Structure 1
């Protein structure tokens, strides 16, 4: 009756919260094995305690997340560059049209262009500020119990299995000896 020493941290609803196996405070955090053979309620403070468990860092997931963030950043920079190139081409075309029509309204046009430049730049800055907010650090989800606590979980599971077998045996009518039917 052994199971791996890898536990995944999960949250349950606050209405389903039960007492922590270590300190008996109400907790909605649960540690569960991948095959669902063992699970128990635990406080979040115990998850941070290095004497109780150690977080297992999934390097592949971290690398995938970094790669995804990098790709998103590249896409964002490409879009910004394309927008700047479009604006530059529009400006050049506008300048060519103005040269053809004459310089009679150049002062008014330049003033309008300055206003247009200021407005998009401010909106771009606010967009950049919202998109470039630093992502919050995720807490580890996979833990490995220290050997003493893991052994305690194994012993508890073994004891529960023994108790279940004994209960089944006691309910079996053939378990106890029968009364002798013949005289000695």
Structure 2
């Protein structure tokens, strides 16, 4: 049986947590092979241990993240430009309606009030955007790992022992496995 030394990190619900392969504490992180032949639970702390496993850098994933970040920045720039254009339009409309509705003395006071209100609103929006962290839904840590040779060999031995035990159970259930009673008389 050939088992590749490539394990993908998956997360399960906290209610489905099982004991860690190393320290036997409850863990919701699972390392699983791409072909789903082998899996085991492991603590996130052990994933950072350089004597247990090493991360495999996925260049495609990094490129995808970089493109997504660049796209997100461009979207934010376009949104800001659009909001500024909308504000300018509203200000022009207000000025036109104010000038036609009232005389110059009343409009100058209202313009100052609306300008100060707009500035306060803009400052609040900017402060909220700065204070709100840009949280990503996935962890920034590596997602693909390779076990070090001792742990990898332990996994291979475990799978071989499971297969041997399965073959032995099947053999014991087969009646032709045992020798037959001698036939012939005395």
Alpha-carbon distance, 1:89 to partner: 4.7
My pick for the range that moved more, 157-166 or 57-66, is: 57-66
**1:170 counterpart (168, 172, 177):** 172
State the partner residue of 2:46: 46
The equivalent of 1:151 in structure 2 is 153
Q: Quick one: distance in 2 between partners of 1:174 and 1:24?
A: 42
TM-score scaled to structure 1, two decimals? Answer: 0.82
CA distance, structure 2, for counterparts of residue 50 and residue 90 of structure 1: 59
Structure 1: distance between partners of 2:167 and 2:25:
31
Q: What stretches of structure 2 of length at least 5 have no aligned partner?
A: none
Equivalent residue number for residue 63 of structure 1: 63
How many angstroms apart in 1 are the aligned matches of 2:73 and 2:34?
34
Q: 2:85: which partner in 1?
A: 85
Shift of 1:52: 0.5
Q: Distance in 2 between the 1:94 and 1:39 partners?
A: 65
CA distance in 1 between partners of 2:38 and 2:79 (Å): 49
Which is further off, 149-158 or 119-128?
119-128
Of the structure 1 ranges 110-119 and 42-51, higher mean CA displacement relative to structure 2 is found in 110-119
**CA-atom RMSD, angstroms?**
2.7
Q: Which residue of 1 aligns with 2:7?
A: 7
Judging changes above 3 Å, is the alpha-carbon distance between structure 1 residues 120 and 21 closer, same or farther for their aligned structure 2 residues?
A: closer
Name the CA distance, whole Å, in 2 between partners of 1:16 and 1:117. Answer: 51
After TM superposition, the structure 1 stretch with the greater mean CA deviation from structure 2, 42-51 or 5-14, is 5-14
Distance 1:75 1:18 in 2: 42
Q: In the aligned structure 2, how far is the partner of 1:50 from the partner of 1:161?
A: 30
